[in-house]
Amino acid sequence: SQTIHQWPATLVQPVGSPLSLECTVEGTSNPNLYWYRQAAGRGLQLLFYSVGIGQISSEVPQNLSASRPQDRQFILSSKKLLLSDSGFYLCAWSVVQASNYGYTFGSGTRLTVV
């Protein structure tokens, strides 16, 4: 069965420090991968998505970057965190070019920048 792993669950980082969040998917090949951020009471904001290794599309210009070094690995990074980067970060995957199934989300990372 397909599973998605996202870690860490919570993270407190000082302003100006780097960030690396990792997401891995098991049980499927060539998935679409997504990074979302969710602010309290707001809808999910798509940050990045990837349709294949090394292929990254950015939806929102910001202080973050993403990479997909392997088919089932998606990494969210920042060189210097800002206070505004605080939030709930979610990784998700979906079947390539098929709308019959929803997205499968990881359990999320609560990032607090202090």
Binding site for another protein (CB under 8 A): 6, 32, 41-44, 46, 49, 90, 92, 94, 97-108, 110
In 3-state terms, what secondary structure has residue 107? coil
Residue nearer to another protein on the CB measure, 62 or 79: 62
In b/e form, how buried is each residue of 36-63, taking b as 16+ CB within 10 angstroms? Answer: bbeeeeeeeeebbbbeeeeebeeeeeee
CB of 99 to another protein, least distance (A): 5
Residue nearer to another protein on the CB measure, 29 or 97: 97
Q: What is the DSSP string of 33-49?
A: EEEEEE-TTS-EEEEEE
CB of 2 to another protein, least distance (A): 12
Residue nearer to another protein on the CB measure, 75 or 92: 92
